């Protein structure tokens, strides 16, 4: 035992020395070779005016090194169209090709020639044993820029164009809705929609893990039905669904849907609501699936992965039930459908669920403007954008 | 008859007693012997001493052994000493049992106190995530849980959303007010308002 303890001490000291030496060596190299690099194509409608790298601390973490990366980019719209949204792709050498990340800024409305900021805050943890190839450890590049006319630029490797389109359509819907409320001087509803100008200090928080584990555990599993939340005018309606639930894990959720429209549906983005064992509802998110569903045809959407839920403090969140709703639909002609505010109001009588369904990035942004600048600031912003 | 002339100096009683038991140096013995042969009084006292000594020896032999006489008998003394040692060892064993019991009690109390201190220190100093990670690892070691999936994994933490692949982890940081959602079959997103710019920012991680 004593020898083992001495051995462990020696290993710990060795790792510590390795960490210090590697850190010093890495910091020396970082002068010539930056941790993070930002690149835009020459014909890009967006170019970096300035790139300020914050203090990128490097510190050992066990047998790995953790690198904190902070970059503040000031970008200029160098094209001739208004930019509505932008997605930057973040790739790390050590995770390529399996893992990637992105930073999206929707609801921008940046006219040609104007500048706007984007921040990238990341942390890369890599084992000491892994060597470093040439170039920056983390590469930031443009994945997609969406313009005001809903055209786009960029390689779109992360399917960002579709997401940016949905955000933009939601933003236009919410601006129109808020403008109508202001025009009708429905101040009570405006305040209610915008959180009464209060900061949401306790937003919905759940812990999520998304796994594609072929060895998924099937013991304790039980089948549960998936209830449908329907938008009356949606072109695609959920009919019935089922999933296998094991404690805090949802396996292979599947839902049968019907194309109610006369157009072929290419992609359906299905939203999922999770009810915990106390009956509280949480919007888990949405998962788009390519279907190619002919008019009035019936199809099934199935997800092969496993979703694992936990409470913010880390304890498992036991799944009581599941609900599904059609979040958006993309037709074969490239057009998108999103639920209108009327659709959302008619979908449920539960005010909390209605609120959750209506919350969009633009709604969040307008609430922040209302909180900071009041009704005058909100009116000014909507006048500028509409 | 031997005379007792006034010029004769009589030995004292202790000297005479020692003379009668033969315990004086030979020169003194020879000189006193000459005196006693000529002094009837001293000869009589010497005879009385010898008779008293013989009487004492007879009485001593008829009584039980005294401690003084036992010393002279080594075998008896040896047995007595061994007996005493055996009694002492037995007594020491009895005392040792009591002490050993107390020693265990002290050790147990000390261990309990240290364990309590360790647990309190752990609870107050070690982050909950690390405790849970350690517990999960232990559960996996003893077979209560499945091993952690080592493929590409997406996970959210209080500070960011992370993608883990090939032994490395890339975390896109966000404030604690961010709302985390699933955004695809292999992607996770976090949405928040940037306090500095007032812009809504959506970060995503992908497992491809």
Q: Which of A98, A116, A368 sits opposite B193 (nearest CB)?
A: A368
Residue in the structure block whose two tokens are 């089922």:
A242
Is the pLDDT at A105 greater than 60? The verdict is: yes
Q: What is the pLDDT of residue B3?
A: 42
- Check CB contact under 8 Å for A305 and B198: no
How many angstroms separate the CA of residue A297 from the nearest CA in chain B? 23
Q: Is the pLDDT of residue A319 over 60?
A: yes
Mean of the pLDDT values across residues A113-137? 85
**Across the interface, which of A92, A163, A364 has its CB nearest the CB of B170?**
A92
For residue A161, what pLDDT band results from cuts at 50, 70 and 90? very high
Cβ of A130 within 8 Å of Cβ of B167? The answer is yes
Q: How many CB pairs under 8 A join A and B?
A: 195
Alpha helices in chain A (DSSP H): 2-32, 160-183, 187-193, 341-347, 351-358, 361-385
- Rounded percentage of chain B residues whose pLDDT exceeds 70: 80
- Identify the top-confidence range among A152-156, A229-233, A239-243, B151-155: A152-156
Is it the case that residue B23 has pLDDT exceeding 80?
yes
Measured in angstroms, the CA of A312 and the nearest CA of chain B are apart by: 7
Measured between CB atoms, which of A116, A211, A313 is closest to B128?
A313
Candidates A103, A208, A288; nearest CB to B156: A208
Q: Is the pLDDT of residue B5 over 60?
A: no
Inform me whether the pLDDT recorded for A27 exceeds 60.
no
Residue A46 in this model has a pLDDT that exceeds 50: yes
- What number is the average pLDDT over the span B159-169? 87
A175 pLDDT higher than 70: yes
If pLDDT is split at 50, 70 and 90, which confidence band does A28 have? very low
Ranges of beta strands (E only) in chain B are 153-157, 160-165, 168-173, 179-184, 187-193, 200-207
pLDDT bracket for residue A356 (50, 70, 90): confident
Pick the more confident residue, B141 or B191: B191
Whether A330 shows a pLDDT value over 90: the answer reads: yes
Mutate one of B129, B146, B176, B206 to test the A interface: name it (highest A CB count within 10 A).
B206
| pLDDT given at position A279 | 83
B128 to chain A, closest Cα gap in Å: 8
SS3 A84: strand
Report pLDDT for A32. 37
Task: Give the pLDDT confidence score for residue A11 in this predicted structure.
Answer: 54
Cβ–Cβ gap B188/A100 under 8 Å: no
**pLDDT score for A145:** 96
Q: How confident is the model at residue A134 (pLDDT cuts 50, 70, 90)?
A: confident
Q: List CB contacts (< 8 A) between B185 and chain A.
A: 287-289, 303-305
Q: Any idea which of A295-304, B62-71, B119-128 has the lowest mean pLDDT?
A: B62-71
The chain B residue lying nearest A66, using CA atoms, is B169
Of B167, B171, B180, the CB nearest to A122: B171
CB A141 within 8 A of CB A153: no
Contacts of A109 in chain B (CB under 8 A): none
The minimal CB distance from B153 to the residues A105, A116, A211 is found for A211
Per-residue model confidence (pLDDT) at position A266: 95
Question: Measured between CA atoms, how close is B136 to chain A, in angstroms?
Answer: 12
DSSP classification of residue B197: T
At A216, the pLDDT band (50, 70, 90 cuts) reads low
Instruction: Between B190 and A216, name the one with better pLDDT.
Output: B190
**A346–chain B nearest CA distance, Å:** 24
**What's the pLDDT tens digit per position in B24-49?**
888 888 988 889 888 988 988 888 88
Report residue A202's pLDDT band, with 50, 70 and 90 as the boundaries: low
CB-based contact B198 A372, cutoff 8 Å: yes
pLDDT confidence of residue B141: 67
Residues of chain B contacting A371 with CB distance shorter than 8 Å: none
User: Is the pLDDT confidence value at B69 over 60?
Assistant: no
Q: What percent of chain B has pLDDT over 90?
A: 15
Residue A30 has pLDDT above 50, yes or no: no
Global pTM value = 0.68
**Across the interface, do B183 and A127 touch by the CB < 8 Å criterion?**
no
- A101 and B205 within 8 Å at the Cβ level: the answer is yes
* Residues paired with A50 in a beta bridge: A74
pLDDT bin (cut points 50, 70, 90) of residue A126 is: confident
Of A267-276, A302-311, B110-119, least confident by mean pLDDT is A302-311
CB contact under 8 A, B205 and A361: no
pLDDT for A257 equals 94
Asked if the Cβ–Cβ distance from B183 to A200 is below 8 Å, we say no
Choose the closest CB to B207 out of A98, A105, A138. A98
Tell me if A303 and B191 make a contact (CB, 8 A cut-off). no
Candidates B140, B181, B200: best to mutate against A (most CBs of A within 10 A) is: B200
Place of tokens 């896109």: B172
A126, closest residue in chain B (CA to CA): B168
Q: For B137-140, which contacts have Cβ atoms below 8 Å and span 24 or more sequence positions?
A: none
- Across the interface, whether the CB atoms of A208 and B155 are under 8 A apart is answered yes
| A219-A223-A225 Cα angle (round to 5) | 160
For residue A70, give both structure tokens: 């902070």
Burial of A325 (0-12, 13-18, 19+ CB in 10 A): buried
Looking at chain A, the whole-number percentage of residues with pLDDT higher than 90 is 36
CA distance A173 to A191: 18
**In Å, how far is A31's CA from the nearest CA of chain B?**
22
Q: Which residues of A touch B204 (CB under 8 A)?
A: 101-102, 104, 158
pLDDT at residue A84 is higher than 90: yes
Q: Is the pLDDT of residue B90 over 70?
A: yes
Give the DSSP letter string of B181-195.
Answer: EEEETTEEEEEEE-T
Find out whether B138 and B131 touch, Cβ atoms under 8 Å.
no
> What percentage of chain A exceeds 70 in pLDDT?
86
CA distance B110 to chain A (A): 21
Nearest CA in chain B to A88: B203
The C-alpha of A90 sits at a distance from chain B's nearest C-alpha, in angstroms, of: 9
């Amino acid at each position: 035992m004593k020898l083992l303890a001495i051995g462990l001490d020696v290993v710990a000291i060795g790792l510590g020395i390795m960490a210090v030496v590697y850190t010093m060596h890495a910091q020396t190299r970082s002068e010539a070779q930056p941790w993070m690099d930002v690149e835009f194509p020459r014909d890009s409608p967006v170019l970096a005016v300035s790139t300020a790298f914050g203090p990128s601390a490097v510190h050992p973490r066990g047998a790995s090194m953790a690198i904190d990366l902070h970059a503040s980019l000031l970008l200029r719209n160098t094209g001739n169209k208004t930019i509505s949204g932008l997605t930057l792709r973040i790739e790390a050498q050590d995770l390529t090709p399996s893992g990637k990340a992105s930073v999206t800024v929707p609801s921008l409305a940046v006219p040609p020639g104007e500048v706007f900021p984007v921040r990238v805050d990341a942390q890369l943890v890599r084992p000491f044993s892994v060597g470093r190839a040439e170039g920056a450890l983390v590469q930031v590049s443009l994945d997609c820029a969406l313009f005001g006319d809903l055209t786009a630029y960029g390689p779109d490797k992360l399917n960002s164009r579709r997401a940016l389109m949905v955000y933009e359509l939601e933003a236009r819907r919410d601006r129109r809705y808020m403008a109508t409320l202001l025009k009708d001087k429905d101040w009570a509803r405006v305040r209610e929609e915008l959180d009464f100008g209060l900061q949401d200090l306790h937003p919905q928080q759940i812990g999520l893990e998304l796994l594609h584990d072929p060895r998924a555990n099937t013991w304790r599993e039980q089948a549960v039905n998936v209830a449908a939340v329907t938008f009356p005018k949606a072109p695609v309606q959920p009919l019935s669904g089922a999933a296998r639930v094991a404690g805090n894990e949802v396996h292979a959720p599947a839902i049968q849907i019907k194309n109610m429209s006369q157009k072929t549906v290419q992609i359906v983005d299905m939203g999922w609501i999770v009810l915990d064992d106390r009956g509280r509802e949480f919007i888990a998110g949405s998962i788009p699936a390519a279907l190619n569903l002919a008019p009035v045809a019936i199809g099934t959407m199935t997800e092969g992965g496993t979703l694992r839920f936990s409470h913010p403090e880390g304890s498992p969140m036991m799944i009581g039930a599941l609900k599904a709703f059609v979040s958006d639909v993309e037709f074969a002609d490239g057009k998108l459908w999103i639920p209108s505010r009327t659709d959302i109001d008619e979908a449920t009588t539960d005010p909390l669920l209605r609120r959750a369904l209506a919350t969009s990035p633009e709604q969040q942004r307008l609430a922040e403007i209302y909180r900071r600048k009041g009704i005058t600031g909100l009116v000014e912003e909507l006048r500028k954008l509409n | 008859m031997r005379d007792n002339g006034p010029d004769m100096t009589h030995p004292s009683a202790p000297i005479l007693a020692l003379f009668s038991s033969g315990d004086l140096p030979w020169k003194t013995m020879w000189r006193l012997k000459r005196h006693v042969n000529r002094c009837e009084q001293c000869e009589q006292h010497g005879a009385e001493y010898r008779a008293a000594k013989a009487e004492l020896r007879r009485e001593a032999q008829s009584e039980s052994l005294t401690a003084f006489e036992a010393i002279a008998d080594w075998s008896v003394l040896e047995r007595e000493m061994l007996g005493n040692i055996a009694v002492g060892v037995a007594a020491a064993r009895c005392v040792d049992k009591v002490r050993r019991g107390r020693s265990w009690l002290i050790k147990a109390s000390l261990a309990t106190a240290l364990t309590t201190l360790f647990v309190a220190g752990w609870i107050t100093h070690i982050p909950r995530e690390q405790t849970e990670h350690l517990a999960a690892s232990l559960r996996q070691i003893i077979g209560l849980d499945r091993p952690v999936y080592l493929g590409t994994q997406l996970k959210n933490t209080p500070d960011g959303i992370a993608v883990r692949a090939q032994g490395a982890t890339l975390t896109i940081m966000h404030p604690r007010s961010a709302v985390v959602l699933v955004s695809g079959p292999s992607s996770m997103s976090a949405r928040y308002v940037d306090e500095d710019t007032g812009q809504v920012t959506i970060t995503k991680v992908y497992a491809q």
